[in-house]
Amino acid sequence: MGLEQGWKLDSSYSLLPEVFFAEAIPEKAVSPEVVLLNKGLAESLGLQVEELNPETLSGNEIPDGAVPIAQAYGGHQFGNFTMLGDGRAILLGEQLTPSGERIDIGLKGSGPTAFSRGGDGLAALGPMLREYIISEAMHALGIPTSRSLSVTLTGNDVLREDVLPGAVLVRTSSSYLRVGTFQYAAARQVTEDLKTLADYAIERHYPDVATEDNRYELLLESVIERQAALIAKWQLVGFIHGVMNTDNMTISGETIDYGPCAFMDVYDPATVFSSIDVNGRYKYGNQPGIASWNLARFAETLLPLLDENQDAAIIIAERQLKRFGEVFEREWLKGMRAKLGLLDEQPEDDTLSKELLLIMKDAQADFTNTFRALTDESAEQPNWFSEDAFCEWKNKWETRRKQQVATIEESYDVMRFSNPSVIPRNHRVEEAIKAAGNGDFSMLHKLNHVLSSPYSYSEQQVDYTTPSDSSAPFRTYCGT
């Protein structure tokens, strides 16, 4: 079933020891209706868009080659470790794409699993639309991410604070191997299972190191580098994940699990949106430090594989963990240079970048629109651009740009490819979701279209560049 739709599913994950997953059966959708379909993603996966149907995209029909399972993992949630697993997600398998990739295909909101911990395993329409919007916007921004193939109304009710329409999201990723997957293996204290998992992760994501004697150290090094680069990209666009638990950090270096995430308007390192993050553990300014902490937990799981002598293994792990700060600072500064149109490297660039951010914080400046205004002088210029502190900084910046070999035109070209004109503004996302909940998807389609080309600086984007005029703090929710 499903061959006419282009499915070419394999299930290598189900060949791991059975402790890493449990069989799962999607709950039947009583009247499935596809309300969002990502045609471009479908085509890249080798799927026949015209043949895809609500029965398959809701989980009512299982394509040939699929082995529906829920993945087991552990995780530090707000600093506290617990054994977890996919409570409302079912992995169907890995699509073998025309380009030779192996892409995980999964259902989210498809009913309870062995790891639901008393939950219903379902999802309401709003949070699934939100994940679709944000994950696809992240992809368009050039940030490694899971992606969204479709959202399907199930016809089933979901009970939260109110009775809400149920929906299933079909999402994709290069894999859903997490730091928490390794924590789960380590907690069981079966070294052979841990080794099998590590070898599988290397085969999926870092095959170049598979034959090296120190491949587990190289696995740690590779994951650290990818995560450091990922978090730098988050910081450079003002993205706040909101729930950076270790079970939400991937081995591949992709962004996953879009729950209480949002993009920052006013620049402030203390910005936090998540309703459950009452102490600001995962606020914007903490994200690099939290990522480093999470990677330390990953390193701990690998100690038995790094060296038979634990003291020697700890030395190896600590040596690699020091790389996080170095890689993050390098990638962040590389990104800031691009945002400021600096095509070469000078020692003062770090200071120049951080001075601007301090001025922006004092001015309560909009993060995205500040860089948009620097990039496009025809855009509306903030009032604080006339203040002494900014004028002094701007003189330094212009002097610095004139010192490089690149022309001013080349400098602006780099800036245009580094500073998005639009981001998923929180109020725009919410109004589109609200309208869709009332049966009007036009606003959502238009928003997705605008967000699909964030660096185009087109006229149609102007209406989407304005932050909310509400003085109330914006709050996001997990949707569970």
For residue 258, the number of C-alpha atoms closer than 13 Å in the C-beta half-sphere is: 28
For residue 249, the number of C-alpha atoms closer than 13 Å in the C-beta half-sphere is: 30
Q: Taking every pair of C-alpha atoms in the chain, what is the biggest distance, in angstroms? A: 68
Q: What is the pLDDT of residue 470?
A: 67
Residue 9 phi, psi dihedral angles, 5° rounding = -95, 140
- Is a pLDDT exceeding 60 seen at residue 274? yes
Residue 216 and residue 199: Cα distance in Å, rounded?
8
Question: Rounded mean pLDDT of 278-288?
Answer: 94
Question: Rounded mean pLDDT of 424-436?
Answer: 96
The first and second tokens of residue 477, run together, are 């929710």
Beta carbons of 176 and 71 less than 8 angstroms apart? yes
- Using CB atoms within 10 A of its CB, is residue 118 exposed (0-12), middle (13-18) or buried (19+)? exposed
Q: What is the pLDDT of residue 477?
A: 67
Strands (E), 138-184: 147-159, 163-173
pLDDT band at 479 (very low <50, low <70, confident <90, very high): low
- Is a pLDDT exceeding 60 seen at residue 480? no
Q: What does the chain come to in residues?
A: 480
Q: What is the pLDDT of residue 472?
A: 58
Beta carbons of 143 and 236 less than 8 angstroms apart? no
Give the SS3 label for residue 468. coil
Beta carbons of 38 and 93 less than 8 angstroms apart? no
Q: Which residue numbers are catalytic?
A: 247
Give the SS3 label for residue 216. helix
Q: What is the pLDDT of residue 473?
A: 65
Q: What is the pLDDT of residue 471?
A: 57
Q: What is the pLDDT of residue 46?
A: 98
Question: Rounded mean pLDDT of 136-165?
Answer: 96
Torsion sign over Cα 411, 413, 417, 419:
positive
What digits encode the pLDDT tens for the residues 34-55?
999 999 999 999 999 999 999 9
- Is a pLDDT exceeding 70 seen at residue 389? yes
What distance, in Å, lies between the first and last C-alpha atoms of the chain? 32
Beta carbons of 238 and 368 less than 8 angstroms apart? yes
Question: Rounded mean pLDDT of 370-393?
Answer: 95
Question: Rounded mean pLDDT of 436-445?
Answer: 96
Q: What is the pLDDT of residue 459?
A: 92
Question: Rounded mean pLDDT of 420-443?
Answer: 96
Q: What is the pLDDT of residue 434?
A: 96
Beta carbons of 109 and 167 less than 8 angstroms apart? yes
